Chains A and B, each alone.
Chain A
Amino acid sequence: MSEPVLSVRNLRIWYGTDRGAVRAVDGVDLDLEAGETVGLVGESGCGKSTLGRGVLGLLPEGASAHGEVNYDGRNLLELKPRELRRLRGPDLGMIFQEPMTRLNPLMKVSKHFEETLKTHEPDIGRKEARRRSLEALRGMGIPPTRYGQYPHEFSGGMRQRIMIALALVLRPAVIVADEPTTALDVLVEAQILRILADLRRNFDTALLLITHNLGIVAEACDRVAVMYAGRIVEKGAAYDITTKPAHPYSRELLRSTISLSTTALHSIPGAPPNLVAPPPACRFHPRCPDAMRVCASTFPPSVDLGGTRRSECWLSARDQIPEGEDRPLEREALAVAEEA
């Protein structure tokens, strides 16, 4: 296995609130390799976006981060804001969900690109800047005739492609894309997914793709990390996880996805827990159909399932369960109302 571009070790990101600390990311290990797309999936409120921003060192005020985010031999969490700012753009890029709110409506597309290039590469000439920008836009399917237009003259899908081109023009080594297609229609979404798939073939960029849609994962990702209540509960090759999920949460998430082959509706009882006081031991045990006694008392081990695949569940470590603790967990039935 080659050396990862970005490696996250035991990352914790906590927010201070009136009610106590919100443990949005609570002990995460994750590697991103050059040219690979890793999908980060989970329900809302599981810490996906916080993790995605945290690996770029983008944290809101009042948040504190501990652990390691190693990039190019340095821990990003220990860098000064100035040093970090220098890395953003040429090394670390981000694609946001709402393209219209991220482009300046008073600036032509050409200006967006030239300003970005000038800021990070002050020596670049006008001609070279124009050539590089047109090349990045061309890669995203934006015709050169529209270089001088304003953001409002483009459709939603084109704006998102402009955002991607803007992130790519500096050729960053790592890009985090936070739900890049959620605001778009099916056909446009499919077009963007195809572009993202081309991206990993043509560039050496490592892409962390945050999404709640498992269909997108199956289509666009090499590997997947499934996140629940601040932890990565399962990770591994996208094909393996979407066909044979090991962790009950991955399996239930997959079953509750409505696709064209859906014949019966399925849902996970309950809702993701409050991260101020998450459930003890395995955080999924209150909602898990396979929960055993041990799940409510002892934190599950992270089990290596071969390859790069890991699952944090007692089901994968049956031999380590103490005698008698593998009996099903008895719980009170959840009220319907608490579910949705």
Chain B
Amino acid sequence: MAAVASEVAAEKATGTLIEVRDLEVHFALHGTFRSRLTGRGGGSVKAVDGVSFDLREGEVLGLVGESGSGKTTLGRALLGLVRPTGGSVKLRGRELAGLPEKELRPLRRHLQMVFQDPHASLNPAMNLETALAHPLQIHGLTKSSAETRAKVREALDLVGLAPADDFAVRYPADLSGGQKQRAAIARSIIVGPELLVADEPVSMLDMSVRSKILDLMIDLKKRLGLTYVYVTHDLATAKFFCDRVAIMYLGRIVEIGSTETIFSDPKHPYTQALVRAIPEPDPDKALPRDLPRGEIPDAAAPPLGCSFHPRCPLAFEPCGWESRDLRALLEERWLEAGEEAYSAERPLVGDLESLNRAERDEAIVPAGSGTDPGALLALLEKIRSEMPDEPFWRGVKTMAAETHGVRVVFEPGIDPPLYDAGDSRAACLLYRPKTSV
């Protein structure tokens, strides 16, 4: 903790704009009538699940992750556009989480957002003059209509929509995708914000236009002293654009560090996979692929322990093994073994759905109806001997046949916090300090 405190103190000196601590955004799932009525019961999706970081003045922080990683929700939570269910967000020491909308709204002047889809974020019935004047009126920043007009033109000039008089009277339908995004950026900078959260600002645009918008954003940062949070799934633009990068996976930051360290020496196995997966246009520079299997799991029922362990090639004993991993293993085996093995082995195992109810530390694999649990145990032992390198088996302590199935006992799992890993911090048990064992 002392290390964290001194780090925070050092950042104060350079000016911390935003301080995020243990931020949580949980969305309640109300599947049943009763839970809808009482507001209780049902599960929750932990879109953001305990995230902490500091944002220094004038820096560009990238929030990078796949869809469903919670990066967009986190970006919105910084502005109070979704309400945090826990934790704190401080703007220059002032708490934003939990503020009523009435008090939050004047502060939004300082915190603005650029959305992903420029075609959807501009009102088609407003010309740019009206669209850009709106934020000025809402925040009461101009005294006369002449001043508003002048400010609108100034903003249009800043984003390169020149001649400004010409563009002021245009409607979104008259603009190309890139021009719309410029207009959306103009609308967000017109109130003089300190922080701009840009949610995938270039991903809907053509390759040839992307660099122009990124160029514009770099230019604006220099001219207006902006701080950016750049939310993206595209590591290539993040590498170019960001000073620091936070890699997100299922609502958590799994690795955070300077852009240089993250890309030259990624620590978390997930980051390593992401960096290798980017298509490289120069065939002479292409890296060999070592892709993790599967996809990002359901956020309503995240894996136990480390949430990346089902896909991780380096997973070992304490990563949080559970019954769903066994199901995945069986399915993968039947996928590769072919039709014959599948029809021979499938009847030995009972209802696979029962394996979806994950419980810590142990699982009962039901035997197929009328089959001997001993035969099921033999099958599992056989799979184990045929795939000894499969990380799953590292997490299995014992397997024993019982009346209705096989009891599998797993190694106890640990949910990893962010550990120091060289120059960055990674939420991976590979970097767990030895002393804390």
Contact = CB atoms under 8 A, between A and B. Distances in A.
Interface of A: 43-44, 131, 134-135, 138, 141-146, 155-158, 185-191, 193-194, 212-219, 238-239, 242-243, 252-254, 256-263, 265-268, 271, 335-337, 339-340
Nearest to A187: B277
Q: How large is the interface on B (under 10, 10 to 19, 20 to 34, 35 or more residues)?
A: 35 or more
A55 B376 CA distance: 53
Contact of B161 (A190, A242, A337): A337
A187 B279 contact: no
Contact of B279 (A131, A156, A189, A253): A189
**Residue from the set B177, B210, B234 with the largest chain A CB neighbour count within 10 Å:** B210
A267 B211 contact: yes
B33 interface: no
B334 A143 contact: yes
Contact of A242 (B233, B274, B282): B282
A340 B239 contact: no
17 contacts: A144-B339, A158-B295, A188-B295, A194-B289, A215-B281, A216-B279, A219-B280, A242-B281, A243-B282, A256-B208, A259-B236, A260-B235, A336-B160, A337-B161, A337-B182, A340-B160, A340-B213
A297 to B, nearest CB: 26
Nearest to A339: B212
A141 B332 CA distance: 8
Nearest to B338: A138
Given A188-B295, A215-B281, A337 B236 contact: no
Interface of B: 66-67, 160-163, 167, 176-179, 181-182, 206-215, 233-237, 239-240, 263, 273-275, 277-286, 289, 291-292, 295-296, 330-332, 334-335, 338-339, 342, 346, 352
Contacts of A186: 66, 233-235, 274, 277-278
B50 to A, nearest CB: 23
Contact of A218 (B210, B277, B280, B342): B280
**Residue from the set A146, A186, A194, A256 with the largest chain B CB neighbour count within 10 Å:** A186
A185 B203 CA distance: 12
A259 B280 contact: yes
A266 B210 CA distance: 9
B105 to A, nearest CB: 31
A274 to B, nearest CB: 11
Contacts of B211: 256, 258, 265-267
Given A186-B233, A260-B280, A267-B209, A336 B162 contact: yes
Contacts of B334: 143-145
A218 B233 contact: no
Contacts of A190: 277, 279, 289, 291
A43 B215 contact: no
Interface of B is mostly: helix
Contact of B207 (A138, A253, A263): A253
**Residue from the set B208, B278, B352 with the largest chain A CB neighbour count within 10 Å:** B208
B283 to A, nearest CB: 5
B162 A335 contact: yes
Nearest to B327: A145
Contact of B295 (A187, A214, A260): A187
Given A185-B66, A340-B212, A218 B281 contact: yes
B285 A185 contact: no
A190 B235 CA distance: 14
B283 A185 contact: no
**Residue from the set B235, B237, B279, B346 with the largest chain A CB neighbour count within 10 Å:** B279
A238 B280 CA distance: 13
A155 B178 contact: no
Given A138-B335, A340-B182, A185 B67 contact: yes
Given A157-B295, A268-B208, A243 B236 contact: no
Contacts of B182: 337, 340
B215 A267 contact: yes
A217 B281 contact: yes
A43 B206 contact: yes
A265 to B, nearest CB: 4
Nearest to A181: B279
Contacts of A258: 207, 210-211, 214, 234, 236-237, 240
Contacts of A219: 279-280, 283, 286
Given A135-B339, A145-B346, 20 more contacts: A43-B207, A144-B334, A155-B296, A156-B67, A185-B67, A185-B233, A215-B278, A215-B279, A218-B280, A219-B280, A219-B286, A243-B282, A257-B281, A258-B240, A259-B282, A260-B275, A261-B280, A262-B239, A340-B212, A340-B213
B295 A259 contact: no
Contacts of A337: 160-163, 167, 179, 182
Contact of A260 (B176, B278, B291): B278
A191 B291 contact: yes
A238 B283 CA distance: 9
B203 to A, nearest CB: 10
B186 to A, nearest CB: 11
Contacts of B207: 43, 212-214, 253, 256-258
Contacts of B277: 186-187, 189-190
B206 A339 contact: no
Contacts of A254: 281
Nearest to A219: B279
Given A187-B295, A188-B295, A260-B263, A143 B278 contact: no
Contact of A156 (B284, B295, B352): B295
A259 B278 contact: yes
A96 B96 CA distance: 44
Given A43-B207, A243-B282, A187 B273 contact: yes
